Amino acid sequence: GSPKSGKREPRYEMRVLVVNAGSSTLKLSVLDGDVLVQSESFPLSIKDECPVLPDEEAVREFLSGLGNLPKERYGTSHGNPWGIDACGHRVVHGGLIFNGPAVIDEQKRKEIVGLTALAPLHQQASLRGLALTSNLMPGIPEVACFDTAFHLSMPEISYTYALPESWRSRWPLRKFGFHGLSHSWAADQALRLTGLSPSSARVITCHLGAGSSLAAVKGGNSIDTTMGFTPLDGLVMSTRSGSVDPGLLLWLLQQEGISPEAIAQGLEHESGLLGLSGSGDTRQVIEAEAGGDRRAHLALGVYVHRLQSAIASMAASLGGTDLLVFTGGVGEGSPEVRSRACENLAFMGIEIDETANLAALGDTEITGAASMVRIFVIESREDLQIARQTRAALGS
């Protein structure tokens, strides 16, 4: 028989509230499909070594800006007036349990709590974000998206530490890697822009911000990264040391007047660019160097030296490089850092177009004329990656 006639029901993209709780900020974003409706960042304070998130009223005020919505369109079954269909949360550490996004239930919440010791501040912030939205919108589907999940594809030779077997069998002492949501987005977006095959293209992604890491991506998977068991490893960062000789730390522990807590505080909050120059803000350090500040000059030199070495290391893991991608607050916002990072890398076929580099805004190619490696600046869209993973986990 002939198909039934009648009015066709409109199809709408799922409206997702993305909750990105970091160590110093909580960023809320609302996305209709891939369209960002609105977003806002809230500074987080720390009390008794725990992050303090904004209260429900502040979040209600943020959501009130969404305006009135047709009742038939969004989330009416969950009874929230903002039409939120689902909530996607960035969770830093998924350990060996979570290799992709997970719909939250009581068991999974307990498993996330059980991983808190691996990333205390970040994990507590994520858990408090979960509690906040659960209280505000009870019954709404919630999905956890993990920064470590992307790196669980690393081969054994990349993630294994050469430590006693008795230690490794007792504890999960391995390289986990972080910033996975950002690395996966940046690599995928650069591949979309170039049309290169994801199965064969060799991509180095540079997430540079207050926290920084590199990833080597091949076949759409992470095969190496600079951060390790914790986010302290690897590159020089805003206030974090990056890689330090473990023997140096053992020596410090034997000295009078310094405790393990003081060492942890120093490595996490008083090192990096801040420890070398007096400022953890890359823009201020560059400005100070231009004014003749010797400490700033040294800080940038150490920062760039470690970054260049890490790029070469990721290239070795990949067996070559087809794409070099910069993302994150510094990666997107600092032409100076991008330019210096590419200095001395001509032997790898890397040459930047300085004119394009200075003008780069959003997703931009900055490849030099003689470069054998294509170079891109990619806008960090963890919010979009989380929203997409949330919809996928819920089967939408």
Q: What is the pLDDT of residue 151?
A: 98
What residues contact 15, with CB distance under 8 A and at least 6 apart?
30, 31, 32, 37, 74, 75, 83, 84, 85, 86
Tell me which of 64-78, 206-220, 230-244 is least confident: 64-78
Q: Which residue has the higher pLDDT, 286 or 123?
A: 286
DSSP E strand stretches across 25-101: 25-32, 35-43, 45-47, 50-52, 86-91
pLDDT tens track for 107-138: 999 999 999 888 887 888 899 899 999 999 99
* Helix residue spans in the chain (DSSP H): 56-64, 106-114, 120-136, 156-159, 165-170, 180-194, 246-253, 260-269, 272-277, 282-290, 294-318, 328-333, 335-342, 354-359, 382-393
- Identified catalytic residue from 147, 233, 363, 383: 147
Confidence band of 337 (pLDDT split at 50, 70, 90): very high
- Bigger pLDDT: 217 vs 58: 217
Average pLDDT of the chain is 91
Q: Is the pLDDT of residue 5 over 50?
A: no
353 catalytic per annotation: no
Residue 47: pLDDT over 60? yes
pLDDT for the residue numbered 10? 43
> Which of 352, 355, 348, 347 is closest to 369 using CA atoms?
352
Q: What is the pLDDT of residues 220-278, one digit of tens each?
A: 999 999 999 999 999 999 999 999 999 999 999 999 999 999 999 999 999 999 999 99
Q: pLDDT category, 74, cuts 50, 70, 90?
A: low
pLDDT interval class at 67 (50, 70, 90): low
342 CB-near residues (< 8 Å, 6+ apart): 324, 350, 351, 352, 375
pLDDT at 236: 98
Residue 127 to residues 22, 110, 121, Cα–Cα distance (Å): 11, 10, 10
Give the mean model confidence (pLDDT) for residues 275-302.
Answer: 98
Which pLDDT value is given to residue 46?
73
